[in-house]
Amino acid sequence: MEERVYNFSAGPAMIAESVLKKAADELVCYPGRGMSVMEMSHRSSMYIEIFDRTKALLKELMNVPDDYEILFLQGGATLQFSAVPLNLLTTGKADYVDSGNFAHLAAEEARKYADVHIAASSREDTYTYVPDTFDWRPDADYAYITTNNTIYGTRYTAIPDTGKVPLVADMSSNILSEPFDVTKFGVIFAGAQKNIGPAGLCIVIVRRDLMGHEDPKCPKLMSWALESKNDSMLNTPNTYGIYMAGLGFEWLRDLGGVNAIYEQNKYKAGLLYDYLDQSTLFKAPARRDCRSLMNVTFVTGDADKDAAFVKYAAKNGLVNLKGHRSVGGMRASIYNAMPVEGVKKLVEVMKAFEKENA
């Protein structure tokens, strides 16, 4: 078996090796079924069994109350940038926090449909922090946040209180990485390709009373109410992606669930931030009180040195450490499936590089 690298990609990202091995073993024939999961009719009892188990696992892992629906959709978070206003607007007002690239794109997309108000923004400060004071409108149809900002490496450590206005959260880059109280949200959505499984799947968790108010011109497949009525099978869903998500959920449950992985994630991120805080070569640009546990950004302050480090790390089996093209520098994405050993190795390699470049 070929040696696997430590892959610090921001997404698609690492998947636990045991999950991949199980998927490989079952790929040609799912045990006892004589066919691949990819070949199963989505309406067959053998597939529905996989689907129901996956949904139940996510409900258990996130402690999703019964008055919320869990949907397994396609189109990633970006399709939800449009689906959120198309499903939720009634008076036409929507409040957004502009805390990063994807938050900004979501607000821009909503302007097609809504009177968008920016309740808080860190855009002028190059998104180095997450706002903590907000100018919410009490009569908005919804309030929108992005719980973790993948590109800038920041996250909310406290969820804002929006009173009676339903809070919508894009959790693409930190769902299942720490405990979230689902009851604080009206809608949670997340692309799968960071903390859940392969790309091409988007999880939407929506409070049932918020469904059924979609715009008459909402594309049928984007209606949460219709998808809920059809248990995510208004048409053929991403059946294999859902199966892979299920294997990932099982892996997480067996590991001790969200509380256990949260401890591990704090430990992993801590290894990196502790080193960064005493390094004379590397600096972490994100404000200390809102550092992400999933995406650790750092810079040397010298673009050539940054590039040299990325190459140096790759030679040592640590790949995809280059920061997003819009910000440069480095980014270590250390989602749930990144082993502790990968982070330890990264710190070692950073130390060695620092020594060589002192």
- Residues 202-261 binding a copy of itself (CB under 8 A) are 216-217, 219-222, 234-241, 244
Q: Which of 199, 308, 310, 327 binds a copy of itself (CB under 8 A)?
A: 199
| 3-class secondary-structure state, position 298 | strand
> At closest approach, how far in Å is the CB of 82 from a copy of itself?
3
Site membership for a copy of itself, residue 316 (CB under 8 A): no
Q: Which residues contact 314 (CB under 8 A, 6 or more apart)?
A: 321
Instruction: Please identify, among the stretches 114-122, 136-144, 266-274, 312-320, the one whose residues bind a copy of itself according to the rule CB under 8 A.
Output: 312-320
Instruction: Please identify, among the stretches 48-56, 80-88, 92-100, 263-271, the one whose residues bind a copy of itself according to the rule CB under 8 A.
Output: 80-88
> At closest approach, how far in Å is the CB of 138 from a copy of itself?
27
| 3-class secondary-structure state, position 273 | helix
Site membership for a copy of itself, residue 41 (CB under 8 A): yes
Q: Which of 56, 78, 121, 339 binds a copy of itself (CB under 8 A)?
A: 78
Site membership for a copy of itself, residue 146 (CB under 8 A): no
Write 221-230 long-range contacts (CB < 8 A, 24+).
Answer: 221/74, 222/79, 222/82, 222/83, 222/86, 222/87, 223/87, 224/69, 224/71, 224/83, 224/87, 225/87, 227/71, 227/73, 228/69, 228/71
Q: Are 213 and 88 in contact (CB under 8 A)?
A: yes
Q: Are 266 and 293 in contact (CB under 8 A)?
A: yes
Q: Which of 69, 95, 109, 214 binds a copy of itself (CB under 8 A)?
A: 109
> Which residues, numbered 178-197, are part of the site for a copy of itself (CB under 8 A)?
191, 193, 197
| 3-class secondary-structure state, position 287 | coil
Site membership for a copy of itself, residue 4 (CB under 8 A): yes
> At closest approach, how far in Å is the CB of 259 from a copy of itself?
26
Residue 315 CB: number of other CB atoms within 10 A?
A: 9
Place of tokens 């405990």: 179
Site membership for a copy of itself, residue 49 (CB under 8 A): no
